[in-house]
């Protein structure tokens, strides 16, 4: 049974959203950044990153590119890496 947040109709068990959140967390931790560091770099609240990492929020393409820039990683390589994760989880 999937976990759906009835208030926002968000499926927290979507494997793509889970894979994306895991990727963000892995990249952030590999750089030694806390969520508060990311908030300072981005101007977004630290809860924004927590929601992504916990699969409560996804990213559109422009947000993904911003995330890559904040993490100092290549958007193209990162997209391919996340896509591989999607395939492995499906």
More confident residue, 73 or 4: 73
Q: What is the pTM of this model?
A: 0.81
Q: According to CATH, what is the number of the domain 4-89?
A: 1.10.260.40
For the chain, what are the domain ranges? Answer: 4-89
CA 89/CA 27 separation, integer angstroms? 18
Q: Is the pLDDT of residue 10 over 80?
A: no
Q: Which residue has the tokens 């947000």?
A: 63
Taking only the tens place, the pLDDT of each residue in 20-70 is: 999 999 999 999 999 999 999 999 999 999 999 999 999 999 999 999 999
Higher pLDDT, 12 or 33: 33
Question: Which pLDDT does position 53 carry in this prediction?
Answer: 97
């Amino acid at each position: 049974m999937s976990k759906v947040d009835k208030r926002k109709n968000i499926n927290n068990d979507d494997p793509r959203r889970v894979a994306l959140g895991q990727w963000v967390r892995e990249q952030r931790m590999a750089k030694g950044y806390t969520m508060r560091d990311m908030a300072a770099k981005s101007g977004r609240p630290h809860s924004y990153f927590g929601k992504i990492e916990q699969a409560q929020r996804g990213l559109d393409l422009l947000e993904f590119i911003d995330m890559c820039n904040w993490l100092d990683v290549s958007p193209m390589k990162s997209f391919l890496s996340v896509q591989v994760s999607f395939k492995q989880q499906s």
